[in-house]
Structure 1
Amino acid sequence: MKFSVGDKVLFKKESLRGRVSKIISIYKVLVLTQDGFEMNVSVNDLVRVEEGTERIASYGRVSNFKDFKETSFKAKKSQKSKSICRVDLHIELLTSNYHYMSNIEIVQLQLNVCEKKIHKALNSKATKLEIIHGIGEGILREEVHNLLRDYKLRFYLSKDGGATEVIL
């Protein structure tokens, strides 16, 4: 659609109106909005307002012009994020009386919680399991990796080394 300087326009994807103040190219125009802002806009995103049809209702609901694919993509993305299980093995989060436990008892408790979470993730429709073990000396990390090898699961260490991501 060709526009001329001074044409009144409506935005298709937003509830804005304005006036063409400059023709940049055959594809872009500069529009001065009713709020006083100048915007560089594609001509495909505008509709010319004909004289005598000043009301937006003459052009239908402007909000109907939004892309349907964009909203359906967002729904798929949120479904994907639900398929990740996380377990934090920091002992402070697992029990309050860890001060009275030996190091072996602490690691054993953490491994028991980890094993339960692995079973839960395998039985659910999760695609990933993130096991947060912390950086530390690496004893818990090695035990978790041994446990994952027993289950024959593929895993890799996160960038900072404080977590292991498991592909289910």
Structure 2
Amino acid sequence: MISKGDQVSVLDEAINGVVVAVKDKEITIETTDGFMMTFFVNELIKINDSSDLMSTIGRINIGEVAKEKEIPKPRNFVKERKDKHEISAPEFDLHIEKLVPNKRGMSNYDILTLQSETAKRHIEFAIKNRIPKIVFIHGVGEGVLKAELDFLLGRYDNIVFQDANYQKYGLGATEVYIKQNSK
């Protein structure tokens, strides 16, 4: 890679010079100040001649570069695959703004009670009507509603729940699977 007569620069020091001798992995250079110094190959880097740089630049086809910039690259995203017969799960938004027209006069306890009662009603309905999966949108917030929802869902034997699809809902939803008993 580096041969006699090449212009080199020392990597960790501000020293430049011309290669005088190459012996195995040791290279002797004459610095610009006229000193003879020996370095290992991995301590040096070859400096390109500016005329060589101009010839490299001249080989670049500007038309091709411009054409590459014009062609829009296809967007890369993963589309959620669904079975043709799969019916999307019903979503229930438990945000208080979606449940009542005006929350004025309601305490935090009243709001949480209404939200958990609404969730319980939807769970009972899904169990009764053999709906296999539902999604509760609770938002992120401080996690009080999510904790209440987890407590409520944990009281059912035939229910399994987990965080819903992050790409679709972020962290603010819980997916509920209802195991159907064949009685």
Q: Give the TM-score normalised by structure 1.
A: 0.51
What do residues 53-104 of structure 1 show as CA deviations (whole Å, max 9, x unaligned)? Answer: xxxxxxxxxxxxxxxxxxxxx9x72x4215x222110100100121210001
* 2:136 alignment partner in structure 1: 131
Give the drift of 1:127: 1.4
Q: Where does the alignment leave 5 or more consecutive residues of structure 2 unmatched? A: 1-81, 179-183
* 2:97 alignment partner in structure 1: 92
Which amino acid is the alignment partner of residue 102 of structure 1?
S
**Which among 152, 174, 177 is matched to residue 164 of structure 1?**
174
Whole-Å separation in 1 of the counterparts to 2:109 and 2:162? 25
Whole-Å separation in 1 of the counterparts to 2:91 and 2:126? 9
* 1:114 alignment partner in structure 2: 119
1:55-66 mapped onto 2 (5 Å cutoff): none
* 1:145 alignment partner in structure 2: 150
Indicate the RMSD between aligned Cα atoms, in angstroms.
1.7
Which amino acid is the alignment partner of residue 85 of structure 1?
P
Q: More relative contact order in 1 or in 2 (CA 8 Å, sep 6+)?
A: 1
Q: Secondary structure at the match of 2:130?
A: coil
Which amino acid is the alignment partner of residue 161 of structure 2?
F
CA contact (8 A) 1:133 1:163 kept: yes
Whole-Å separation in 2 of the counterparts to 1:137 and 1:144? 13
Aligned length: 92
Q: Secondary structure at the match of 2:101?
A: coil
The answer to whether structure 1 residue 81 and structure 2 residue 53 are counterparts is: no
CA contact (8 A) 1:89 1:114 kept: yes
Which amino acid is the alignment partner of residue 108 of structure 1?
T
Structure 1 or 2: more helix by fraction: 1
Q: Where does the alignment leave 5 or more consecutive residues of structure 1 unmatched? A: 1-73
Q: Give the ranges of 4+ consecutive aligned residues of structure 1 lying more than 6 Å apart after TM superposition.
A: none
Q: Secondary structure at the match of 2:90?
A: strand
